[in-house]
Amino acid sequence: MVGMLALSLLIAQAAAMGGFSGNDPCSPYPCGPNTDCMVSPLGVAVCRCKSGFFPKPDTITGCGPQCDDDDDCSNTQNCARGRCVNICEEGICGINAVCEPRNRRAICRCPSGYSGDPFTRCTAGHTDQRILTGSSSSHSSFNSNPFSGNRQTIVTGSDSFGGSFSSAPVSSSSFGSSSSSFSPAAGSSFTSSSSTFGDDPCANFNCGSNANCLLRSFRAVCACRAGYEGDPYTGCRRSECVGLPQQPLYQSMLDVLRCRF
């Protein structure tokens, strides 16, 4: 009897506060699209966005994607699959590399005193950078591309051993609406600007003049054609560099290459 009286008092208190009135507060449904309705301990309806959705502008009106394009996000973010994501998201650059958001692009670079491919790994040591334009067959990072095989590489040597190298300016695009880029050790950059889902990300991705679109890890990557150098996102120019056409013998290449940035 006492328990029933206490329950009646709680219900009356909730009703006085605009809460539970004896019916389901979530019926009829008081929330907007893409929401879930829950009943609070006070017996009132609480509207929450479903996972992956955000208030537009509130849960009573409804919820939707956080963004539709990059302009809906901050300058350090891109719109990817309806969410604003950090341009310098974890893992976009290689080990020991530094990521800097710039004009909605992630610039990966090796810090001072380090050399190598900032998209893969930067290693401590003084660098002597020289450029070689040729086939991408020996650079495993680009071998997954079934659409094209030419790209520009930078050969990076050290005082003690000339075995490291990094990719030259390339531009990439990923699924979603994100955009990112990386810069090898000499200030060159790898730019990425995303495209939409599709069988071939290169289908709707435009590279600069004298550049080809490659596919790397589900990203459309722009690379200068053999014999060209520069920024493949805006345009490549014919290279005046002369080097060996084969890449495995790095020390031999360093002895032969004569072009510097």
Residue 180 sits in the same domain as residue 226: yes
pTM of the model: 0.36
Residue 44 sits in the same domain as residue 90: no
Q: What is the mean pLDDT of residues 82-110?
A: 83
Q: What is the mean pLDDT of residues 205-226?
A: 77
How does strand 190-193 pair with strand 170-173? Answer: parallel
- Whether 211 has a pLDDT exceeding 80, the answer reads yes
| Cα distance between residue 96 and residue 91, in whole Å | 11
Question: Is 11 contained in some domain?
Answer: no
The whole-number pLDDT of residue 240 equals 62
Long-range contacts of 135-141 (CB under 8 A, 24+ apart): 135/226, 135/245, 135/247, 136/214, 136/223, 137/247, 138/246, 138/247, 138/248, 139/165, 139/167, 139/247, 141/117, 141/167, 141/216
Residue range of the domain that includes 57: 30-64
Residue 100 sits in the same domain as residue 176: yes
| Cα distance between residue 52 and residue 80, in whole Å | 12
Domains identified in the chain, total number: 2
Cis upstream peptide for 28 (omega within 30°): yes
Question: Is 261 contained in some domain?
Answer: no
What pLDDT band is residue 22 in, cutting at 50, 70 and 90? low
